[in-house]
Amino acid sequence: MPESLPLRWLYLDLNSYFASVEQQLDPTLRGRPIAVAPVHTDSTSAIAASYEAKAFGIKTGTPIWEAKAKCRDLVVVPARHEEYVRFHHRIVAEVERHVPVTAVCSIDEVACRLCDNENGRAEVGDLARRIKAGIAANVGTELKSSIGIAPNRLLAKMAADMEKPDGLTVLDAECLDARLRALRPNDIPGVGKNMEKRLAAAGVVTMARILDLDAREARSVWGNVWGERLHWLLKGVDLPERETQRRTIGHSHVLGPDKRHPDRARLVARRLLMKAATRLRRMECRTGFVVLTVKGEKGEAVGGDGSRTPGLRWSHGQKLVAAHDSFTLLAVLDSLWLRMRAELAEQRYRQVSVTFLELTTAAETQLALFDAGPAVTPETEARRLALSAAIDRMNTRFGRDAVTVGHDSAGASRSSGPKIAFTRIPELAEFRE
């Protein structure tokens, strides 16, 4: 059995990443409990906490006012997302000095597939220690990581979670089953509260029970083919990775009280579209479908059990001949906005989102044979695209919003720049858009 489960994957998970970057940048924060917050206000929640803060029960999602109550010495620092992206690239470059990075899984996680000459038990341990030492020496001493090594990528990720901070866990054939049986079902990536309820309804409440399911039972319990794949992955089989591709581009913004009037909210929506359009061109793609989503301010009722009913939500899209210039896309957004204003009863809004669907490669896009919505002549499109590209260059050179197109009125739609969702890492160029 051991020879059938070679150690194929190394998974690196940076510990308390945002907080560690802050401690690396500011030596006075080292060894102190800190929480990283989106903005400097007690009404928001922590998006990261140092291990010193975690000792007080502070974690991601803890309201800042509650975090301060738990730890009187807590230091709250506003997030600097551009720095987190810069450090991310430096860390990936350092890992690449030791082993090729197969996949960047998030802002603080990378996966590396090991070759036959580097996947022995002793070799993988030496490799992991060299990576850790390289990050400390060439990126920063505060950037600690947990590394998991296992026969497949899922198990390597689970191994990285087993020892934090600064851990190193190797799951080989000899220890795999025993180590997994000591876990809980929610230690499997993707198993949240809803999935736990589904498993419990099927009588599956322990990791041992999951491991004892056969492939057919696992597929039935999960309700799809992922259950069967998971069965084999937990056995250590290195299944081929499923290819993924980007299907959407979009931006969303929760509106402050001063931006909730329709006129101000519309400016924000236009700015979101301009940001998305710039990304679209940078990716050399076009979109054939634009979606506008608006959430109303009113209608949020608080029940006796503390539950909240959100306000009205309006979301519709409009098809168009695939385009990527800002002006064609703004015209579609204006059309959707007028429709929304006529159909949504509420007159103040708390969130707006703009999303591009049906993405195609710009060079391969073909004209539609049938009516696909608004279209322009090739000459007009060329002029609009040239002007859009010129605006992109000006904003890159002189800073975000150096040139705007009807979406900036007395700061109505300015933002502090892109935020990091752990599943998507902003390009550094986005911080200038």
Who's near 99: CB < 8 A, 6+ residues apart? 10, 112, 114, 118, 127, 131
Fold type of domain 6-169: Alpha-Beta Plaits (3.30.70)
Over residues 172-178, the mean pLDDT reads: 93
**pLDDT per residue as tens digits for the range 293-302:** 999 987 544 3
pLDDT over 80 at 413, yes or no: no
pLDDT over 70 at 324, yes or no: yes
| Statement: the pTM of the whole predicted model exceeds 0.75 | no
**Radius of gyration for the alpha carbons in the chain, expressed in angstroms and rounded:** 25
Task: Tell me the percentage of the chain whose pLDDT exceeds 90.
Answer: 58
Catalytic (active site) residue 109: yes
Portions of the chain given CATH number 3.30.70.270: 6-169
> How far is Cα of residue 332 from the mean position of the Cα atoms in its chain?
27
Bridge pairing between strands 168-170 and 145-150 = parallel
pLDDT over 90 at 257, yes or no: no
Give CATH for domain 183-244.
1.10.150
pLDDT over 50 at 308, yes or no: no
Long-range contacts of 192-195 (CB under 8 A, 24+ apart): none
A 10 A CB-CB count for 172 gives 19
Portions of the chain given CATH number 1.10.150: 183-244
Over residues 215-219, the mean pLDDT reads: 94
Over residues 61-78, the mean pLDDT reads: 95
Task: Tell me the percentage of the chain whose pLDDT exceeds 70.
Answer: 83
How many Å apart are CA 273 and CA 329, to the nearest integer?
Answer: 8
Give me the residue label for tokens 């992955």. 233
**pLDDT per residue as tens digits for the range 158-169:** 999 999 999 999
A 10 A CB-CB count for 178 gives 9
Contact 58, 74 (CB under 8 A): yes
Portions of the chain given CATH number 3.30.1490.100: 249-432
pLDDT over 90 at 369, yes or no: no
As given in the structure block, the two tokens for residue 324 are: 């990527």
A 10 A CB-CB count for 368 gives 14
Which of 94, 109, 346, 430 is labelled catalytic?
A: 109
Architecture of domain 249-432: 2-Layer Sandwich (3.30)
Collapse the DSSP code of 228 into the 3-class scheme (helix H, G, I; strand E, B; otherwise coil) and give the result. helix
